[in-house]
Amino acid sequence: MKKKKKLNFLNNKTFNTTLAFFSACVILVFLGVVLDVDATEIGGKSVEDYRTFFGLNPRITVWVIAELHLMFGAFVLGVPMFAVVMEAIYAKTRDEKLDNLAHEMAKLLSAAFATTAALGGLMAFTLLSFYPTFSHTLVGVFGKAMWIYALFFFGETFCLYAWYYSWDILKDGYLKIYHITLGVFLNLFGTAIMYAANSWATFMMSPSGINEETGEIESVWAAVANPLWNPVNIHRLLGNLAFGGIIVGAYAAVKFLGSKTQEEKEHYDWMGYIGNFVAMIALIPLPFAGYYLGREVYATSPIMGNQMMGGAFSWPFIVQVTMISVIFTGANYYLWLSIQRIPGGERYHKYAKIIFALIFIGVMILLTPHNLPLTGEERAIIGEAYHPFSKFFGVMTGKLAMLNLIILCTFFTFLMFRRANKGETIHFREQGAIGKIVVIGVGAAIVALVFLYAISSYGAEDLEGVRQYFAPIFYDLMVFAAGIIGSIILTLLNKGKIAVWLNFGVTVFTVILFLGSYGFIVMSKANLVMRYITVSQVLMVLSCMFMNAAIDIIQFRKCKIIGPIAMGKIAPRAQYALIFVCIAIVTIMGVMGFIRSGLRMDWHIYGIMQDKSADSFTPSIFTLGLTTASIIAIYLGLVAFVFFLAGLGDKKKKAKVHAAEGPIHVSTATATDGGNNI
């Protein structure tokens, strides 16, 4: 007599699918109810603007549920991005470890997706219950767009389960292309959902497409494509990709620490490396997306901009900068520990102390506030409201310079990691035509972009009367362009390593030393020019990284490999670094969600619909800390539970995945390169 299998409904995929569809139906019902309900009367009775239930604070309740929904949404969007990239590389290299890694991540999505949808439905009912008039107004503006959002949700659901269940069926040969296509559509639907939801949040900060006096809707598309929509889209897209990689890294770290065999340690060490690598690709440009978003906030409303950086939200920004510092420090620490397990990596150990010294200096300046919390006696001793020395480090020009320094240090660490197990480069002429095309093409594009930006900015209308203050920035950009041209020439002369150092040196001089110092002069005499300094810094730092990456990839393309990476030999403390980085990025999401939403101050929709509730005030830092800490604890607990559910169905047998001799091979890697190329 056959023994009946015990059904575990928590790990049952049908149960999760049903829950996801039920949640989607909840959202559709919510839309239908709100669209058909009169905002002012129901059954002849007036509807109040605000309600409370069971003694719950409406703002805190919506805050917690919305933030949890956002975090799980980032999980559900970020992890498929990571998995599909791994699948695509597997299709090229046929490295079985990559497909197994992607599949292991995909199995986490079943419970996470259902949880995300359930939280979305709960948030919809919570908003309708606590803020009925506001909910009706928002749905009145985005009613048609919200129906499209719901259809996108169904599209994502179908693609997710088709992608997951067809994994083994569409694994072999050309069929894998169809499976990857399903994954691409999954990510497209997920991105579309994120873009749609972003339009609602950004409309509340920068409303457009609506008559401010009558409240009449003039253009739904204008309301969707409001001034802050694209900046938030870019920022969140990069943030979600980084978040997906960091979640994978934290998952691997926990598994590594609990591993019993060397084979398991090798597998999860490799997984943590891949997760950190993908996160770094998105993390390095992420602050620049933040620059763009901050600039557009200022352009939309100087009042919101001043509140963001110098008003009620300046201290939350100190918390945010602290977490950014933890992420970059943790990522650098993990990479330098990784270099120690790579044959040949000992050549670069001498740079570690210098890099961490520079990061420490940058972090200290980033954390220095402009206005210290001083007592009356302390102010009397100093003689002014600001400290005579630290006040220079508390302003934005110094902080931007140091953040760019930290980014450059992180990129330098990444280059040293790439080079660690590679021998000496061969002569550049042996790299073939592709080497010259890449180096000259990338360099020429950068030089052209720098020249175009400098010339177009010099003729900008808003510089009328203060154009002389832009002239030093113009010449600074020309110096940087000359450095790029010099690096191209050096590379063609087989001096690629010197070319990389030249680019770093010129960038540090033009971005950190010159513009970082010149910003103090501009702030006191022509503050408008500061935004040109910011954009110039972003342009030059990104250009330096692109140029150096192109040179480094080409010059080490055909070199000999010293030896394979010793996976599983990394120090356990590296895994704690990955876990701390995960906690830090979740904290940033919580704090930045508070800042972005709170900038509206006492407005539901900035300048159009005022918040007249008892909670129409900016919460204190204590409330921010307590609420955000609670959200982080709940979220990490739920994520741990999702990991637990995903592991319930695993059979107790040894994994078929073998330890990697190294990371991913692509066409630029030789058959013996040890896998330290991606």
Q: Which two tokens stand for residue 36?
A: 């058909």
Cα separation, 320 vs 326, in Å, equals 10
- Considering only residues 559 and 371, tell me which one the structure prediction assigns the higher pLDDT: 559
Predicted TM-score (pTM) of this structure: 0.80
Beta bridge partners of 210: 217
Does the pLDDT at position 110 exceed 90?
no
H helices of 166-285, where? 175-205, 220-224, 229-257, 262-283
Give tens-digit pLDDT for 171-185: 887 888 899 999 999
Domain annotation covers residue 295: no
Residue 148 lies in a domain: yes
503 occurs within a structural domain = no
- Tell me what pLDDT residue 48 has: 66
> Is pLDDT larger for residue 408 or for residue 376?
408
DSSP 8-state symbol, 285: T
Q: Is residue 204 pLDDT above 90, yes or no?
A: yes
- State the average pLDDT over residues 408-418: 91
Query: Is residue 35 pLDDT above 50, yes or no?
Result: no
Length of the chain: 678
Q: State residue 560's pLDDT score.
A: 83
- Considering only the C-alpha atoms of the chain, give the largest distance between any 2 of them, rounded to a whole number of Å: 93
Q: Which of 217-226, 308-317, 618-627 is predicted least confidently? A: 308-317
Which pair of tokens denotes residue 668? 């630029």
Quick check: helix, strand or coil at residue 526?
A: coil
Question: In angstroms, what CA-CA distances link 314 with 367, 389, 571?
Answer: 11, 20, 38
pLDDT at 28: 52
Q: Which residues pair with 603 in a beta bridge?
A: 610
462 or 18, higher pLDDT? 462
Total number of domains in the chain: 1
Q: Please check whether residue 600 lies inside any domain of the structure.
A: no
Strand partners, 422: 561
Q: Is 334 exposed, middle or buried (0-12, 13-18, 19+ CB in 10 A)?
A: buried
Confidence category of residue 25, pLDDT binned at 50, 70, 90: low
Looking at the domain assignment, is residue 306 inside a domain? no
Whole-number average pLDDT of the chain: 82
Select, from the ranges 69-83, 365-379, 427-441, the one with the highest average predicted confidence (pLDDT). Answer: 69-83
Q: Provide the percentage of residues in the chain whose pLDDT is more than 90.
A: 27
pLDDT at position 466 is: 82
Q: How many other CB atoms sit within 10 Å of the CB of residue 214?
A: 8
| pLDDT (tens digit per residue) in 287-300 | 888 888 888 888 88
Taking 70 as the threshold, does the pLDDT of residue 410 lie above it? yes
Question: Does pLDDT of 19 surpass 60?
Answer: no
Q: Residue 426, SS3?
A: coil
Average pLDDT over residues 154-164: 89
Instruction: Tell me the C-alpha distance between 511 and 407, whole Å.
Output: 12
* 556 contacts 425 by C-beta, under 8 angstroms: yes
Q: What is the mean pLDDT of residues 98-118?
A: 84
Minimum mean pLDDT range among 33-47, 87-101, 224-238, 389-403: 33-47
Considering only residues 456 and 564, tell me which one the structure prediction assigns the higher pLDDT.
Answer: 456
Q: How high is the pLDDT of residue 95?
A: 82
Which whole number is the average pLDDT over 480-484? Answer: 95
Residues 6+ apart with CB under 8 A from 39: 47, 132, 133, 136, 137, 140
User: Looking at the domain assignment, is residue 410 inside a domain?
Assistant: no
**Tell me, what's the pLDDT at 332?**
92
Give me the pLDDT at residue 352, please.
Answer: 92
pLDDT at residue 355, as a whole number: 94
Residue 48: inside a domain, yes or no? yes
Domain span including residue 49: 12-226+624-651
pLDDT of residue 655: 42
pLDDT 10s digits, 490-503: 999 989 889 999 99
pLDDT tens figures, 567-588? 888 888 999 999 999 999 999 9
d(CA 323, CA 580): 10
pLDDT at 571: 87
For residues 678 and 664, the answer to whether their CB atoms sit within 8 Å is yes
In DSSP terms, 547 is beta-bridged to none
Residue 16 maps to a domain = yes
pLDDT of residue 298: 84
Contact assessment for residue 546 and residue 446, using Cβ atoms and an 8 Å cutoff: yes
Nearest to 56 by CA among 130, 111, 147: 130
Please report which helix (H) or strand (E) contains residue 41, including its range. Answer: strand 41-42
